[in-house]
Amino acid sequence: MPTDDSFATIDQAGWEDLVARFDGRMWAVARAFGLSAADAADAVQCAWLRLVENAGAIRDPARVGAWLVTTTRHEAARLSRRARGEVVSDLDVPDPAQPDPTAAVVDADLGRQAWRRLDLLGEPCRSLIRLYVLHPEARYAQIAVRLDLPVGSIGPTRARCMSRLRALMEEPD
């Protein structure tokens, strides 16, 4: 992720990091609107496009995750209204640069659900995901030492753990 105040100069690895960190959450937000897989994909893709279009206007790069989730929510709401036959115009889409209080409430609730479900996972999944969430800048070697795992197993283990957490998140309360 870039260290300056603009995403205008982000490199491929930076974009891949953003996608790895936020794409799953964006998909969860879009699907929460009851959209089809195709419409959810459109909402997520639109949010990524909006980031590219507004990269130079992002004031706080540390909050890009919240910005992406809020933008996905707005796009999903627009597509949901369109699917119900409501007339949708560009004026109906709120400015994603403005704070969204409802998004903050939904994000907080989603976060609480995720932490509760994370506690249902066994080790090393629980510790591995906590490390990724609390220390996203940590390298595989650092995580391997901390969890006493081989460096080569961190990626595959993370993928399996995230898959199990996603499945738990899809279960009703």
DSSP string, 78-100: HHHHHHTT----GGGS--TTS--
**In whole angstroms, what is the distance from residue 9 CA to residue 85 CA?**
40
Q: Is residue 5 situated within a structural domain?
A: no
Q: How confident is the model at residue 118 (pLDDT cuts 50, 70, 90)?
A: confident
Q: Over 80: is that where the pLDDT of 7 sits?
A: no
pLDDT tens digits, residue range 61-74?
777 888 888 889 98
Summarize the confidence of residues 83-105 as an average pLDDT: 58
- Please report, for residues 110, 151, 154, the alpha-carbon distance to residue 29 in angstroms, rounded to integers and kept in the order given: 9, 32, 27
What per-residue confidence (pLDDT) applies to 45?
A: 93
Q: Are residues 77 and 20 in the same domain?
A: yes
Residue 1 in domain: no
Give me the number of domains the chain comprises: 2
Average pLDDT, the chain: 80
Residues 73 and 126 in one domain: no
CATH number (domain holding residue 138):
1.10.10
Q: pTM for the whole thing?
A: 0.47
- Give the residue from 37, 102, 35, 15 showing the smallest Cα distance to 75: 35
In the block, residue with structure tokens 């969860």: 28
Residues of the domain holding 76: 12-84
**Alpha helix stretches (DSSP H) within 54-135:** 64-83, 101-118, 125-134
Task: Compute CA 26 distance to the chain's CA centroid, rounded to the nearest angstrom.
Answer: 5
Residue 70 to residue 76: CA distance in whole angstroms: 10
The answer to whether residue 4 sits within a structural domain is: no
Measured distance CA(85)–CA(76) in Å, rounded: 14
Check whether 155 has a pLDDT greater than 70: yes
The amino acid at residue 129 is I
Q: What is the mean pLDDT of residues 111-123?
A: 86
Residue 150 located in a structural domain = yes
* DSSP single-letter state for residue 11: -
Q: What is the DSSP letter of 4?
A: S
> Within a domain: residue 39?
yes
Cβ–Cβ < 8 Å for 124, 91: no
The structure tokens listed for 4 are 């300056």
Among 69, 71, 66, which Cα is nearest to 94's? 71
Instruction: For residues 80 and 126, state if they share a domain.
Output: no
Q: Looking at the domain assignment, is residue 90 inside a domain?
A: no
Centre a 10 Å sphere on the Cβ of residue 35 and count the other Cβ atoms it contains: 20
